[in-house]
Chain A
């Protein structure tokens, strides 16, 4: 079966699109799927550093589109997972270097040899966003439980619905359970009610994600962290499995002790 193309987008910048893409790609590949992640953020290449692959890039998406190399030559194989590839963005060009038709063509060529194509969209709703969603069979909208991020997500959902793109699913990223408990953060249900789309995952704010970005080892490589587990659950749901949503409560003293004894707890 040819690959499903899944675009990760958000409207607002800084909500964690690239982190989500890197980790979902990692989780899917760790689950035995053949995955190509495509950095569509031309001019602001970041997926390579999130994956720790920045030293292996020879060609990029724009080289492919402009015929300077074959598609195979531009694919960078992951260091750790043999079925995970990155198609990097160009760093020195801008978002007009690739048009929607070219992106569809590149993806069509990749579909045969993969199970999933994950496309990391740039922020905004202009050409770069249009290019990133053009080949999508499915779109994941990443947002944070914040007024500005939810508003931008709503705008993006409106644009995608107008184009009859879909299905659309929501990832609520960087949730702080302690703030939600105090009433100082939007609850998951409130965001879902406002945006009226289906949820595919809730990812807690987790320092492990920052540390992982420092070292170029996505948290989804292990399930020692809350965020890593959340990304694995989303990957399972993308594959059509039913996985219950994680309880986001901070572990109490007992839970922490239990985790010490049994680190892979849950």
Chain B
């Protein structure tokens, strides 16, 4: 359950549940030595590097961090700006 789900559900989350969700995030970032600020920096630099070679939609770029039990992952989602008539497969 994500913290947003807790807020959007009908039931108010208890402070214990909020503590648990906040800790889940904080520990994930601590363990990977990543901060939300670093994600922004990475996003800006990825946009700069890739757009030197390909036309991308900078507004649509997303860099996210997820922690799994065995593996943590950085995911960059970079939408390309395609030319008319040349839709990517």
Q: Do the two chains belong together in a single complex?
A: yes
- Interface residue SS majority, chain B: helix
Contact in complex: B16, A151 (CB < 8 Å): no
In Å, the complex CA distance between A150 and B21 comes to 12
Contact in complex: A158, B31 (CB < 8 Å): yes
In Å, the complex CA distance between A154 and B26 comes to 10
Given A151-B27, A154-B27, A186 and B20 contact (CB-CB distance below 8 Å): yes
Contact in complex: B30, A147 (CB < 8 Å): no
Say if the beta carbon of A101 comes within 8 Å of chain B.
no
Say if the beta carbon of A254 comes within 8 Å of chain B.
no
- Note all chain A residues with C-beta closer than 8 A to B4: none
Give chain A nearest CB distance to B21 CB in angstroms.
10
In Å, the complex CA distance between A185 and B22 comes to 13
User: Interface size for chain B: under 10, 10 to 19, 20 to 34, or 35 or more residues?
Assistant: 10 to 19
Say if the beta carbon of B24 comes within 8 Å of chain A.
yes
Contact in complex: A151, B26 (CB < 8 Å): yes
- Note all chain B residues with C-beta closer than 8 A to A146: 19
Contact in complex: B20, A194 (CB < 8 Å): yes
- Note all chain A residues with C-beta closer than 8 A to B19: 145-147, 185-186
In Å, the complex CA distance between A187 and B15 comes to 11
- Note all chain A residues with C-beta closer than 8 A to B26: 147, 151
In Å, the complex CA distance between A194 and B25 comes to 10
Query: Which of A24-32, A49-57, A176-184, A228-236 forms contacts with chain B?
Result: A176-184
- Note all chain A residues with C-beta closer than 8 A to B14: 182-184
Contact residues of A between 178 and 202, Cβ < 8 Å to B = 179-180, 182-187, 190, 194
Give chain A nearest CB distance to B66 CB in angstroms.
16
| A155 to B, closest residue via Cβ | B30
- Note all chain B residues with C-beta closer than 8 A to A150: 23, 27
Give chain A nearest CB distance to B22 CB in angstroms.
6
- Note all chain A residues with C-beta closer than 8 A to B31: 154, 158
Contact in complex: A180, B20 (CB < 8 Å): no
Contact residues of B between 8 and 46, Cβ < 8 Å to A = 14-17, 19-20, 22-24, 26-27, 30-31
Select one of B16, B23, B24, B30 contacting A185, CB under 8 A: B16
In Å, the complex CA distance between A194 and B17 comes to 13
Select one of A145, A182, A194 contacting B24, CB under 8 A: A194
| A196 to B, closest residue via Cβ | B69
Residue-wise, chain A 114-150 has the 8 Å CB interface mask toward B (1 for contact) of: 0000000000000000000000000000000111001
Most buried by A among B15, B22, B27: B27
In Å, the complex CA distance between A189 and B24 comes to 13
- Note all chain B residues with C-beta closer than 8 A to A183: 14-17
- Note all chain A residues with C-beta closer than 8 A to B24: 194
In Å, the complex CA distance between A175 and B23 comes to 17
Known: A185-B16, A186-B20. 13 other contacts (CB 8 A): A145-B19, A147-B22, A147-B23, A151-B27, A154-B30, A154-B31, A183-B17, A186-B23, A187-B16, A190-B16, A194-B20, A194-B23, A194-B24
